[in-house]
Copies of this chain bind each other. A is one copy, B any other.
Amino acid sequence: MPEILDIQQLAEAGKLTIAIIGGTGDLGSGLAKAWSRSGHRIVIGSRSPERAAELVQGLGNAQALSYAQAAAQGDVIVLAVPFGSHEQALDEIREGAEGKIVIDAVVPLVPPRVATVQLPAEGSAAQIAQRILGPESRVASAFHNVGASKLHLGERVDCDVLVFSDDKEARDVVIKLASQVASRGVDGGPLANSAAAEALTSVLIGLNRRYKVSAAGIHITGLDGDSTDRRDLKK
């Protein structure tokens, strides 16, 4: 009899179907490549069928669909659209996202001043996602501070990924997925705390300009072990 794996085990084993909404964007396609290398099946939700087809061809075990169809296919859904498309994308995936972990990676940047923190009145993009998707979805947020360039080069990103959710198991799943693309996932607590990582993105964009670098990131100091997720260490 085949062993039945729970969602945390599937995440760790690289056996999830991950729907990436906005999957042809810079971050979305970078995450798609990284998780594809970890073995996951990727479903790209896109409004650009040609770019999506091209991306999917390079990934192997992957397909390209509409936002709604991709969400319906995913075990886990990742939202990586520009902030200007955030609410509409959430509306479109709502039905397909019921009962699922939805990882909001959207940063509330307000062009042209993207290096200035301008958080939404609701507190954070993640809290907007929870309002629109409702309590049926297990909303998490993460990957705000991950520069996509290294993902496209096939490297892990030298940046800790702060993971937020009011759902503890969702945080644990996302922490495992984060450790496959970046230094490690770190349990940042409740969804309301997403404001910290979302705001930090504008700071990092500004640091890239002022310090003339391309991929400023963050590392959390003072955690036990200090190079990987504690929960992984305990095994």
Q: Which residues of A contact B (CB under 8 A)?
A: 115-119, 123, 147, 158-159, 162, 186-190, 192-197, 199-200, 202-204, 206-207, 210-224, 230
Residue in contact with A221 in the complex, picked from B115, B189, B203, B217, CB distance below 8 Å: B217
Residue in contact with A188 in the complex, picked from B118, B194, B206, CB distance below 8 Å: B206
Task: Contact check, A230 vs B203: say whether CB atoms are below 8 A apart.
Answer: no
Task: Contact check, B218 vs A223: say whether CB atoms are below 8 A apart.
Answer: no
Assembly CA distance A235 to B182 (angstroms): 34
12 CB contacts below 8 A, A to B, read A117-B193, A119-B123, A189-B207, A189-B210, A195-B195, A196-B199, A196-B200, A197-B203, A200-B200, A216-B223, A217-B220, A218-B220
Task: Contact check, B211 vs A203: say whether CB atoms are below 8 A apart.
Answer: no
Task: Contact check, A203 vs B217: say whether CB atoms are below 8 A apart.
Answer: no
Among A188, A194, A210, A221, find the residue whose CB has the most chain B CB atoms closer than 10 A: A221
Copies in the complex: 2
Known: A115-B189, A159-B221, A217-B221. 13 other contacts (CB 8 A): A117-B194, A117-B195, A119-B123, A189-B207, A196-B199, A196-B200, A204-B220, A207-B220, A211-B223, A211-B224, A211-B230, A213-B224, A215-B222
A163 to chain B, nearest CB (A): 11
Task: Contact check, B207 vs A199: say whether CB atoms are below 8 A apart.
Answer: no
Closest to A183 in B: B221
Given A115-B189, A189-B203, A210-B189, A220–B224 Cβ distance below 8 Å? no
Given A216-B222, A217-B222, A220-B217, A207–B192 Cβ distance below 8 Å? no
Task: Contact check, A223 vs B213: say whether CB atoms are below 8 A apart.
Answer: yes
Assembly CA distance A202 to B197 (angstroms): 12
Given A195-B195, A196-B202, A222–B158 Cβ distance below 8 Å? yes
CB neighbours of A223 from chain B (8 A): 207, 211, 213, 216
